Structure 1
Amino acid sequence: MPVIRFHALPMPYYICSGHCLTAPGRGHPDRYALGEFDLLVVDQGCLYIGEEDRRYELAEGHALILRPDSHHYPAQGCREITGSYYLHFQTAGVWDVLSDAEGASRLEEPQAGEDGGAADHHPRVAAFDIRIPQFTRLLNAGKMYELLRQLNELERDSHLGAVKWKQQMLFQEVLMQLEASMADKIPRPGADIADQAASYLRLHYRERISIRSVGEALNFHPVYIARCMQKQFGCSPMEYLMRYRLEQAKKLLLQTDLPVSQIGQDVGFQQAAYFTSCFGRWEGITPREYRQRFMLGHSRNGLNG
């Protein structure tokens, strides 16, 4: 089962949708490189579709995403009247297609320096992957039909900004439904360990933490935890901890008038000089300069500088 991976942000965006009936003997249009993703969801009958060298039987309750860069054609005509929803969408971001083996692992995350560099893993950027199956049997077909029906009803007013916004929100739910249809088929042991480690670090970031203490808390070998976090987040546990501490420090710099040295201690740095060094290496300026640069704008928003 190929999996389509979108690197976000930016998010994939909705273009248009509709519902059509295909008569017996007819099939999906023959198209070359449409330039948009085309999601098809069958609610009656069966569509027989080819994409390059692959063939799909798209029966009721199934979904298929046709790629924007491929040749799509009717593999054969429908044998009965077939109803299907279609939804066109696109992304301004990076996307790729994972093989069956790659798609079965949540650990194949982009590493630092790929598709945008280490900044993609900066906690403020909040970069992440959206993985959805190209072809799947829907976990909750009824829910998907309802979402697509709502999108279609909004099409007549889609020239209105408020309606476009609502359609985009519904589209995000469509993506979540697609993701949910394969969630129970994908093993997550490594990703779960990485998530547990991240949660532990966020909870105890003010304390003295070592990779050994993380391993003891989670009952896994520190090397295994480090490998899982590197694949999941693109950094080691200690680098993740350092970045999270710096994010908390930036909040305190902008929202309080605490001394810089006190802020460093409050977020887990034992020495003020080391805090200033780490902050400058990551942000390019000192904590005091950061506070001075942004203090005025935040003061106007009612925050203490």
Structure 2
Amino acid sequence: MEDKYISISCIPLPTFIQGGYAFFDEGENHPNRNDLQYFVLMIIVKGQLFIAEDGHQYTLNPGDIFILLPHHHHYSWKPVEQSTEYYWLHFSVAGKWTQENKPVDVSSKVDIPTLHYFTPTVTLYLKKNRHITDEVPAFKLINRIFKNSAKQNNVGFWQAQQQFIDLLQIFQEKTKNESTSTQLAERIERFLRDHFDEKITNATLSREFHVHPNSIALSMKKTFGMTPTTFLTKYRLEEAAKHLLTTDEPINQIARNVGYNNIYYFSTIFKQHYAMTPTAYREKFKH
């Protein structure tokens, strides 16, 4: 079957709605639907799923990613033959999108002024059906999205939305005009944002991306103007500031939530960045 590509305008950005983990026993069928208003992103973990959309039949295996279109007819074209499991994520697109045999530039639904703002493309290209060889990073990120969305608070909501955009970036078809260094820096930047609450060192990044630490630092400085360490510190403190203003969590808990086990070190770094202690920051700006 010929390849299909879904091209989505990213202004406005796609929005994560909900997600879960599906189990099907031998002989069961995927639900038969034609009125779902969301895109459905599926990542097969185990077994084999026989899914059809508008009469086109697909056989999905572990590591396969598949995207169902909103308001299109999808169903099982035959029951599963073994225990089958997959992640599913519903997402909504308010802007323009199209599915074609090749990636297509899609204009924004919102007028973009070019005098003070320019971006080379506002289109996200997703292959309708593709296979990934290393599922672990994607599965970790999906579980973090689910964990944050389950918090049912403002911080969790925004973190889940940010991480969902990161997931789409992992799955997107790369544009040809991006250099290898830029692509590496963008991957590092997403990893730092998605794992900022964990212990991350130069060795961690080197193992994750199979690149020498010097190359990692150079690519980040060239693309973002700062080292991975500086970026991580800046992002952690921004997340801490959000928690201080939107929750009543104790300072020591916030410190741990953003990756600092030593509250005194956290307070010192925070004061260097914001010119006041975390407690003073909360008292001054929280209403």
Pairwise same-fold verdict (TM > 0.5): yes
Could you state the TM-score of these two structures normalised by the residue count of structure 1? Answer: 0.53
1:109 aligns with 2:102: no
Contact 2:45/2:85, CA 8 A, preserved across alignment: yes
1:12 aligns with 2:14: yes
What secondary structure is seen at the aligned counterpart in 1 of 2:150? Answer: helix
Cα distance in 2 for partners of 1:118, 1:166 equals 27
Cα offset for 1:124?
1.1
Cα offset for 1:30?
0.5
Q: 1:3-42, aligned counterparts within 5 Å?
A: 3-42=5-44
Moved over 3 A (4+): 114-123
Cα distance in 2 for partners of 1:118, 1:51 equals 33
1:150 aligns with 2:144: yes
Q: Which has the larger radius of gyration?
A: 1
Structure 1 2/123 Cα, relative in aligned 2: closer, same or farther at 3 Å?
farther
Cα distance in 2 for partners of 1:192, 1:173 equals 17
Cα distance in 2 for partners of 1:172, 1:61 equals 20
Which residue of the partner structure matches residue 98 of structure 1? 100
Cα offset for 1:28?
1.2
Cα distance in 1 for partners of 2:112, 2:144 equals 37
| Runs of at least 5 residues in structure 2 that lack an aligned partner in the other structure | 180-287
Which residue of the partner structure matches residue 59 of structure 1? 61
Cα offset for 1:121?
5.6
| Runs of at least 5 residues in structure 1 that lack an aligned partner in the other structure | 194-305
Q: 1:1-305, aligned counterparts within 5 Å?
A: 1-99=3-101, 102-103=102-103, 108-110=104-106, 119=112, 124=117, 126=119, 128-157=122-151, 159-179=152-172, 182-183=173-174, 188=176, 191=177
Farther off after superposition, 23-32 or 140-149: 140-149
Farther off after superposition, 143-152 or 71-80: 143-152
CA displacement 1:166-198 (0-9 Å, x = unmatched): 11111012101211xx44xx8x4xx579xxxxx
RMSD: 2.4
Structure 1 122/130 Cα, relative in aligned 2: closer, same or farther at 3 Å?
farther
Could you state the TM-score of these two structures normalised by the residue count of structure 2? Answer: 0.56
Normalized per residue, the structure richer in helix is 1
Structure 1 178/122 Cα, relative in aligned 2: closer, same or farther at 3 Å?
farther
What secondary structure is seen at the aligned counterpart in 1 of 2:29? Answer: coil
Cα offset for 1:3?
0.8
Contact 1:43/1:145, CA 8 A, preserved across alignment: no
